A and B are shown apart, each in its own frame.
Chain A
């Protein structure tokens, strides 16, 4: 299996740990990826909140390149995933819009390829049995609150790959690597997303609540699939503590980092040092990490 890899801007900077751990896991499972040639930013909320044509045109440039490479699109970031997938769908549905977009981007895009998220590739295309077969060090006893956020869960109904209110795909992946996914109510609550700089007040409140509920439900770590969720949930914990007076301090990891850990990949692929709330204490306590290797 081979996919056209769309890293997206975050995976080159704030989320290199997502990129490396995901790459490591896919490699181990025999999946080949080829970076999409000269891909451009998906435009994220900034484009779709302000300009409909731009919100469709930007993803179309990258998807068109992938189509030329003859590959389906694979993304990690759920924001990119949501934008690429929705743009691809409206262009599939509307030949007139497709023509207009082709004139704008100087391409002959046909919107023929699929757009996939790494969680769906792992859980569906590769399958849980193949993943279980690669586990070297099951994450025994690690209670994981899987957090999907809004972008995977709330796609328009016909594009959805999982339940909108109670998705389970990442829970299944966590169970496959031996961890204990929790049944908890905030799986799809919004973290404040793109309001992160402009309305920090909103984001601190929303992210703080999610961490609080995860802790109350006994989580050791939170597993996420989106660079923006990771940043919001990880970096505002101190601010939220200051506001509510409740002690937080819950490590927020990409689900691929946890999979990579279970599959025995090394520190350079896990990049645990990039996470702000230090995950080492809990991972050492659970006997999942040998401190000597990391320090």
Chain B
């Protein structure tokens, strides 16, 4: 990938915003690469976690927020455990995802499905208070047909009674919905 390191990017607000929102000292990363050495998804992404950190330092906002990495990070925390200066990379990834969402950045194809899955998951929680695999697959499948087909290739999943059919709904579902709405309202104000 071509990195357009410009004077403008270097002096942009991006680095400072990420540092402020995550409370992490991104500037202190000295690119040892240990985070990426342990990262389980590096084989599947173009930009390794240490590169993402470097790009944040260089103010390359667009490239970072559009990258597959921020969505394909499994949040396993290996990078955090290995970083010699204790940078909370997982938290930085969380912040980057939130910023990508706020700025309505269109995620790359391999990442869009991850986002869709997260959305379906949370829709289900908002509706029932708990996750039910059938309901989840229902709403997920509306968004992403071929993934539903993937799931259906595994009939044992149903046969082995891995899944319950009836959704469990909590009692105080209205209170939960209000909580969701308050949070959505706060997001809109950002």
A contact set with B: CB distance below 8 Å:
9, 12-14, 16, 38-41, 43-54, 57-58, 61, 103-106, 150-151, 153-157, 164-165, 188-190, 192-195, 197-202, 205-206, 231, 235, 273-274, 276
A49 touches B118 (CB 8 A): yes
Q: Is B105 an interface residue (CB 8 A)?
A: no
B131 touches A41 (CB 8 A): yes
Interface positions of B from 124 to 150, Cβ below 8 Å from A: 125, 129-133, 140, 147, 150
Q: Is B11 an interface residue (CB 8 A)?
A: no
Q: Is B5 an interface residue (CB 8 A)?
A: no
* Contact partners of B78 in chain A: CB under 8 A: 150, 154, 188, 190
B168 touches A50 (CB 8 A): no
Q: List the one stretch of B25-33, B53-61, B180-188 in contact with chain A.
A: B180-188
Give bound CA distance, A255 to B129, whole Å: 28
Give bound CA distance, A89 to B151, whole Å: 36
* Contact partners of B77 in chain A: CB under 8 A: 150-151, 153-155
A46 touches B72 (CB 8 A): no
A52 touches B94 (CB 8 A): yes
B72 touches A195 (CB 8 A): yes
The 6 A-B pairs at the shortest CB distance, nearest first, are namely A154-B77, A150-B76, A190-B76, A46-B121, A9-B131, A46-B118
- Total interface residues on B, CB under 8 Å, equals 59
Question: Can you spell out 28 A-B residue pairs with CB atoms less than 8 angstroms apart?
Answer: A12-B168, A13-B133, A40-B129, A40-B170, A41-B125, A45-B118, A46-B119, A48-B75, A50-B118, A50-B122, A51-B98, A51-B187, A53-B183, A54-B180, A54-B183, A57-B183, A61-B179, A104-B179, A106-B179, A150-B78, A154-B76, A157-B86, A197-B151, A198-B117, A202-B74, A205-B44, A235-B156, A235-B157
A114 to chain B, nearest CB (A): 21
Give bound CA distance, A12 to B154, whole Å: 20
A41 touches B129 (CB 8 A): yes
Residue of A nearest to B125 (CB): A41
Residue of A nearest to B70 (CB): A49
Name B's interface SS: helix
Q: Is B40 an interface residue (CB 8 A)?
A: yes
A193 touches B183 (CB 8 A): no
Known: A190-B74, A193-B75, A198-B147. A44 touches B121 (CB 8 A): yes
* Contact partners of B168 in chain A: CB under 8 A: 9, 12
A50 touches B98 (CB 8 A): yes
Known: A50-B101, A194-B75, A199-B72. A40 touches B162 (CB 8 A): no
Give bound CA distance, A155 to B122, whole Å: 23
Give bound CA distance, A95 to B58, whole Å: 35
Given A50-B101, A50-B119, 4 further pairs, Cβ under 8 A = A9-B131, A12-B168, A189-B40, A193-B76
B51 to chain A, nearest CB (A): 18
- Residues 88-103 of chain B, each 1 if its beta carbon lies under 8 Å from chain A, else 0: 1000001001100100
B178 touches A106 (CB 8 A): yes
B125 touches A43 (CB 8 A): yes
B11 to chain A, nearest CB (A): 27
Residue of B nearest to A82 (CB): B77
Q: Is B48 an interface residue (CB 8 A)?
A: no
Q: Is B106 an interface residue (CB 8 A)?
A: no
Known: A50-B101, A57-B183, A58-B125. A197 touches B140 (CB 8 A): yes
B122 touches A45 (CB 8 A): no
Q: Is B1 an interface residue (CB 8 A)?
A: no
* Contact partners of A9 in chain B: CB under 8 A: 130-132, 168
* Contact partners of A198 in chain B: CB under 8 A: 113-114, 116-117, 147
B120 to chain A, nearest CB (A): 8
Give bound CA distance, A14 to B133, whole Å: 9
* Contact partners of A16 in chain B: CB under 8 A: 161
